[in-house]
Structure formats: structure tokens, C-alpha cells
A and B are shown apart, each in its own frame.
Chain A
Amino acid sequence: MSSQLSKVCPHCGASLPLKASFCPYCAQKILSSQPLSMPTLGKRKHWRRRIWGLASLFILFLCIGVSLALPRFLSTRALPRTYEGEGEISYSGADGRFYLALGTMNTQEQPMAEQIFYTMPGYDGMGQVPLFVHHPESGENSAGFFLHKLKSFSVELLQEEGDSLSCEEPKKATDTVPGSTLVCNVRFKGQAGRGKLLWTLEMDSGNTIQISQNLEVKLLPVRSYHWKDYPMETMEQLQSVVAQAEKECAPEEIIQLHLPPITYAGTLNLSHPTCLYGSQEGETVFQDGIQLLWDEGPDCYFHDLVFRSSGDGTGLSSRGHLHLNRCTFSGFDTGLLADGTGTIYTSDCLFIQNQVAIHLTGSPPKRRTLSFYQTQFLQNSTGLLLEQEPMEVPINLYGSIFQENGQDIQNPVNQTLELSSARFF
């Protein structure tokens, strides 16, 4: 075993691989571990709560009586204390009783001691760590009452491995995470890393709540094919490279295809999660569109592609999770068809002179956001046709422009939309 991959057992001195968690020679654990235990505050039996409730009332009346007679600085309030928890915590102070949980954008109020973000080399990303506050018995959302009792708050990201993680100041974001009290955006670079996001909440009573979530950034394995190394000058050649890539790659790998400045005739079929990169030296054009045939898998990214039809067909059909950046769709019956259970995000894209620019159908996850960011819908018969299972979170059309369309948005499913930053001409 190379010295680069070895370490020494602290118990018996045996040589071990770097990532070993256990020494099989002396049968002892190497990796330190943290205990995981359910919170113990505020979740006890009813009879105990009743007795404490009565005792608290008695003490309260006693305190009121004494405090009326004594100067204010002799108040009998308890000394401030700090409450700590990982993922969730029950808080009980003079200013109220709350159950706090840190979740994720997709798991909502399910408390999560740990969250993993997946990324690829070269991609920066953003995730969310929402804080939920409820009444410990009734489960009622207590966000408003809690914020009223909150004196100040801050978050700190403690890097444990690498430096790919950073966080923003928490803010209210009930539009993207319904029911949340505050949400902290976490940004990460395209490299592995690990850290702990620590929230510190100072209450009016002087008590402090510290609740944390462990964060990890994992790199998705990728396999790249560049047009300068593999022949991609015709659709037949391109499809052949795709077939080779799909055969060579492991199930968990993402294929990356870097395409030449070529106009392709014929439909490209992709069966495995793939990212496509159009050329920076000229246009990469698909006249007959692309079909994405996978349902499961990671988010995939298409950059700088032109879908240009002579008058019919579908430019791009997708069933999985897809991000489009700087892509153009023109002349199709349907520019972009999102079918299945995936989600679609567009950024700086243009849909021009299609019958339907974007058609959503299928069953995307109810709490995952769809957004069309700074996307132009120009001279289409219909800009956005929404026929999918309605989602709980609004579709965001931030900065998008609708101009000279027959109908800008058809929404028979009554999907909620965030239109405050969209413009209509």
C-alpha cells in the first residue's frame, strides 16, 4: 500500500488505508462518532406536563406577587441558558415553547441532521437550509410568534473539509419554502467538501438556541467526450459516440458531450443522464430536436444550443431534471416538452415563433420549484402551456419577458405562478 494511502492505527500501530474506519488487526474503531439521540425536552408524558404546568402557574403567580414589591433587578427569572441541537431541538423558556427543525428545500419540516449537495466539477450550486418552528404539542406553525420573540439571529458555516461551502444571511422565504420561518441559502463550488451550518438564535429572554446541520458536497462522477477527440460531424456520428458513451459509463456517471459548431439533421436520442455543451466557436444547431429518455437521475445541464425547425415537431422533450442555459428554440410545434416526473429550469433562453414554447405535462415533485429565469417568449402562439400535476410551490418567472405571443400563458390546472418580476408586452 502506498504511503499516500496509509495511516497508522492509534491503538496498535498497524498500517491502514487512509479512509479506513476500523482496524481489523486489533478490532477497534478508528473513526470518531457522534451520538444520535432523540430530543428529551418538551416531549414527555401528559401527566408530567400537567404537574409542571400547575407548578409553573403557582410559581408565576408567586413571581408576579414578589416582583410587584421588589425592585425590577431582583426579578426571579431563570438565568439565561443555551439550548443546543443537531437537526432539531425543543425549546422551553420564559418567552415560549417551540419545536425547531432544520430541513431541506425538498424534505420541508422533516428534521435533517445532515444534507448532501451533489455537483460536478466546474459547476457552482446553491441549496437551502430552512428553519421551521412549530408548537411542540399542537404542531401549529409558530413562525410569526417565534420571530416576535427573537432578538437576533446569525448563521456560521464551519468548514470541516475543503472550502467549497459558503452561506448567506438567512431571510424569510415562504414563497420558495412554504411554512418556513427563515431560510439560509448555501452556496457550493464544484468540488467536494464538508461543513457544519450553525444557527445561533438569541431570544428576548436572554436564552440562546444553537441548532446545526451537517453539510456535505459530493462530486458526481462525469465522463467527457469532446468533438476534437471523437467524430461528431453528422447525427450518425454523434449518435454513435452517444452509444459508445452510454455503454462505457457506469450507472452513476454523467456523460458530458462537447459539441462542434454543426447543424444536425435527425433526432438525437439520449438514454443516460447527459450534459450537452454547444460550441463557443459557432452555432450548434438541432433541426429535428433531442429526446431525453431517462426518468431518474441527477440534474443535467444543456448550454448554448440552438433548436431550429422548419416548422414542426418538438425541439426538446425531457422526462428528467433538466437545466437549460442560453438555449434558443424556434419554429417548432412545441419548443420544450417536459413530461414525466422531472423538473425544468431555463435561464437566459429564447423561445421564438413556436406553436407552443414550453409545454409542461406529467407529474413533477410537488415541492420542487420550476423556474424560467430571464427567458424570452416571443411571437409564439402560446408561450407557456401548463398541463402538469399542480405543484405546491409557485413556478417562478423571474425576469422573463412575454412579447407578441398569441397567448402568453395557458394555465388550466391553476398552477400558482410568481409573476411579480415578469414583464408582458
Chain B
Amino acid sequence: MHNPSETEGYREGSIIYTWFSQILQQEYDLVRRMKESPRGHVDLIRHKKSGQLFVLRDFYGNCEVYRKLLRYTCPHLPTVYEAAEGKDKNLVLEEYIQGDTLGFLLEESLFSPEETKKIVAQVCQALWALHSLGAVHRDVKPENIILRGDTAVLIDFDAARLHKPQADSDTHILGTTGFAAPEQYGLSQSGPLADIYSVGILINVMRTGEHPSKKLAEGHLGRVVEKCTHVNPQRRYKNVLRLADAL
């Protein structure tokens, strides 16, 4: 009888998940729950011995992007320390980024052109890193950008996934309304160009507080926004490097 067996990688992933889950309960304290949704929850935890803070994500779905980021670092992305895949759920431990989100800061005031260019250029660096690993963020918005001093950090890859060009349409519609590019609403597979669309919206919101359909930013940044958000993905900037250069 030919008995199907699990792959070695799958078995090792389950071992790490179980072990990691147990050790976290022993060695870490829960500080507070940061987010809760049907897909899982995000906790701020503290290492008992050192007092160091971490973000722990416990969620259903795909953690391919986090597993990729284990091997790389970028100053504009949180460091991923561990990504354990269980049978149904995943555990991801990442760097806690302290600072205010762009969303919070925008409640007070808009950003100047120079400030906008500087911050968005850093967001482009984060996206470049993700795209060069074959990942797409899919949820670029002010609430997912934290300013740590002078450095912008792009967080929350919950909607991110690896972009497999030979695969067919994504089966789940994720992303935030208004920031999600048209092709993310189930029409065709979202790719890096969808993130460029979201960056265009971001620039406009940072300058005007509004979606470009309501009020377009003036001047050079307005033209950049238009090119980022063109309804035809092929008419947008080809990649974030060209977008960063345009800024």
C-alpha cells in the first residue's frame, strides 16, 4: 500500500510552530492586544528577561512573505525574527516599531511637498525590497506607515503575498477601499503595479487630505499622482525605482 506522507518541510514547520508557541507563553508577557480580526490577532509582547518589545502575529492564511523576509533586512521594513507555519495558523514575530503612524499625524496637519517626497521615497525603498523578493504589499496606506524619527517604516503585510505571475486571479479580495487599485477587486491578479497605485493615493492624501478623484495635488506631485493612479496598470510607473526617481 502506498501511504501518503507529509513533506519534510511541512513537518518541520509544525514542530517550530508548536515549540515556538509554548516558549512564547513561558518567556514573554502580553502587553496589549493591538488588533483583532476574523483572520487572527496582533499582540504587543515583552521578553521577560530583557524587557524587549515585539509584535506577535497569530493568523490564518499565508505567511510566505514573512518567511522570505527572514533572510533580508531593510531599514524601512520591520525586521522579521521568526515565521512559524502551523497546520492552519501561523505565528510571526517581528520588530516593534515605535512611533506615530502617518494616519495619526495626518489628523493634525498635511505634509509639505518636501516632507512628502522624503517619506514616500522611503516607502518606495520598502516596496522595492518587497517587490525584488517577488512580494506585493497590497495595503499601502497612512495607517501602515510609522515614522520612527526621520525614518518611515512600512508595516502590516497581512494583505501581502508573493506575486506568482503564472498563477491565476487571487481568490481573496483584500486591501482598503480607496487605496486598493482597481485590479485588486477580483478582476485580475494584483502585482507590484497595484502598490504603485496605492502610493499615488498616499501622496495625494499627504498633500491634500483627499482622494485624487476629489482633489488632485498641485504641481509636480499632482502629475506623479496621476501617473501612479492611471486606471491602466501598464500606463503607471513601471516599478517603484522609477517612481522614486520621479519624486
Contact = CB atoms under 8 A, between A and B. Distances in A.
Contact of B74 (A37, A88, A111, A192): A37
Contacts of A24: 20, 23-24, 27-28, 47, 82, 93
Interface residues of B, number: 56
B241 A38 contact: yes
26 contacts: A1-B19, A17-B12, A21-B82, A24-B27, A24-B93, A25-B23, A26-B50, A27-B47, A27-B54, A29-B81, A33-B79, A35-B73, A35-B74, A36-B132, A37-B129, A43-B244, A104-B165, A107-B134, A113-B132, A114-B68, A221-B6, A224-B2, A341-B169, A365-B166, A367-B165, A368-B165
Interface in A1-19: 1, 5, 17-19
Nearest to B1: A229
A139 B23 contact: no
B95 to A, nearest CB: 10
Interface residues of A, number: 55
Top 5 nearest A-B pairs by Cβ distance? A106-B165, A36-B129, A22-B82, A22-B81, A113-B132
B118 to A, nearest CB: 12
A225 interface: yes
Contacts of A18: 12
Interface in B36-52: 47, 49-50, 52
B168 A341 contact: yes
B234 to A, nearest CB: 11
Given A24-B24, A31-B71, A36-B72, A1 B15 contact: yes
A112 B19 CA distance: 34
B166 A106 contact: yes
Interface of B: 1-2, 4, 6-7, 9-10, 12-13, 15-16, 19-20, 23-24, 27-28, 47, 49-50, 52, 54, 68, 70-75, 79, 81-83, 93, 124-125, 128-129, 131-134, 163, 165-169, 171, 192, 238-239, 241-242, 244-245
Given A38-B124, A226-B2, A19 B74 contact: no
Nearest to B93: A22
A110 B129 contact: no
A310 interface: no
A111 B4 contact: no
A17 B16 CA distance: 6
B166 A321 contact: yes
Given A34-B71, A224-B2, A21 B165 contact: no
Given A27-B49, A38-B128, A224-B2, A33 B165 contact: no
A225 B16 CA distance: 30
A116 interface: yes
A26 B51 CA distance: 11
Contact of A34 (B72, B128, B169): B72
Contacts of B165: 104, 106-107, 365, 367-368
Contacts of B124: 38
Contacts of A29: 79, 81
Given A219-B7, A321-B166, A35 B72 contact: yes
A31 B72 CA distance: 10
A19 B82 CA distance: 10
Interface string A31-71: 10111111100010000000000000000000000000000
Contacts of B245: 43
